[in-house]
Structure 1
Amino acid sequence: MANISYKDAGVDIDAGNEFVEAIKADVKSTFDSNVIGGIGSFAGAYALPAGYKEPVLLSATDGVGTKLKIAIESGKLDTVGIDLVAMCVNDLICNNGVPMFFLDYYATGKLLPENAKEVVAGIAEGCRRAECALVGGETAEMPGMYAEDDFDLAGFAVGVAERSEMDTVANVKAGQTLIALPSSGVHSNGYSLVRKLMFDKLGMTLDTEFEGKPLLETLLEPTRIYVKEYKANKQHVKALAHITGGGIVENLPRVLPEGIKAVVKKDDIRVLPIFEFIGQHVDEEEMFRAFNMGVGMIWCVEPEDVDAVLANTDGYVIGHLEEGERRVEMV
């Protein structure tokens, strides 16, 4: 019987090496002065930034969910990497963590270097937007585990915070104002419902015109990254809530102490057209539990700081905090 190789089993080592060479420029473009060493070591090294009295490391991990299916089916792979970074770093800043570095895990049935390069280019772009370094990653070619055209992504972000600033819940009290920062679209939550409705029930395609452009462009609009806005307004923000799966009604209470409720004026929310369309076929309560509805992040701000924040962001007021059972009350 003739000998077989790893390539015969579906794993191409040469393709993996070609991919690593192809992404080096994108990866290096994210490096800052705290990155130690280069690409190709067994672990990424990053110096702890100076200036912290009691530095605490924070970590966050996430994926992109079934939004990946749309990217794979369309062949448009250059934006999901931004989503991957966004879902992690937007969580970090909610505990006053400044993102330092990021790692990714890319698993696929068959490694196609050009496709993988597009994905990593998106991850690098996300890191540049988040002002963090892409210090490492792992690519796994797993025939038999994934179909050849399929792949999955996982991301891991590490940030640093001052220990005394981590407990944002302690800063929240009645009388504070709620400021919404707009989302860029569906972000990376609720896509199983989106796909079920639009493709299975309504028979739409990625080429169907929506708001004057192919539906694909709206559905693959990458998740907005709020790191720069956070850094510019940190001194005015008492607490932050990243509006992901579960929507406003489940994420905002995570930053509220017992005895404080959030009163959100539903009519003041600037609902995006994509959600207005979906809302014609999905109950309102379900909409607010599945989607961000046009609000990517909510900040709790003292009344005297509202004008400064509004002048320095594209945010707008959607409610306030008052005494009551810890929950979100839509009015």
Structure 2
Amino acid sequence: MNANRPILITGGAGYVGSHVALHLAERGERVVVLDDLSTGHARSVIGAELVVGDVGDRDTVARVLRDHDIDTVVHLAGRTIAPESVRDPLRYYAGNTCATHNLLACCAQAGVSRFVFSSSAAVYGMPASGIASEDTPTAPINPYGASKLMSEWMLRDLSAASGLRYAVLRYFNVAGSDTRGRTGHRTRNATLLIKAACEVATGQRDCIAVYGTDFATPDGTGVRDYIHVDDLARAHADALDYLRGGGESIVLNCGYGRGASVREVLRAVERAHGAPIPVVEHPRRIGDAPSLIADAARIRQVLGWSPRCDDIDLIVASALAWERSLAAERG
């Protein structure tokens, strides 16, 4: 058993959060999950204690920090669908920015010393080169990205005024599921490409929509940097080790540094499925970047992070296996 004090993971019953909680628990950490289960699922919490509650509720957060003697927080709770944020921006500023403000205020009062924050490549907007390093100017184009960036700013400023040290992890396109099939993405009507395509392959939706086939990319479809959720979970553990070792506050991209197009992803799904899947092509959507790929050199250099699942076929195979298990579970 790890001798460190318990770690609080907000949003630990959700897609990424459940993988992070499982990975930390497996290496002997004591993990407490705080999740309101609005999109998460209690059955996804494995090897950790689940407290059902809202990160935006100050009394709940203060009680959890106090009762469990928390000195390290991994903050993943929040809303994550960019198009939805355009339709309902205040919901995103409340659920992401304001809730993070509440959490940080409670952490400051409780003397939390380390904080790992789940941010997003959406803070970069649409960089002209299609490649974003941590030094690329931030220019979010939707309230989701803006809500994440505002949370980063609050964390930065609190750190400057206190002893709190942090690691901000800017996720690129998270995909796949636990390679042993223990947890995965349970959210219905998800918008993530690989999950949606695997749902088509397993008969859970009729077709996959492709938005834009005339981008200035090799095959005309958008290119993204897909990172396996298991590698992302390990990045959180590595960030925690870095902070425990006295590392200074840092911002890090989480991606592989290379991209796959929508058509390449769909071909990978068809390979794994063993048959074509129905595709419907639509015009590109306003605000969709042709390409967004991480410059991921810093996380490798600073944390020594070494991905193990950097293969689109492996990512898709794990996602498809999970969707098949869900389809069987749902009957």
Bigger Rg over Cα: 1
TM-score (norm 2): 0.28
Normalising by structure 1, we get a TM-score of 0.28
The structure with the greater share of residues assigned to strand is: 1
Higher RCO (C-alpha 8 Å, min separation 6): 1
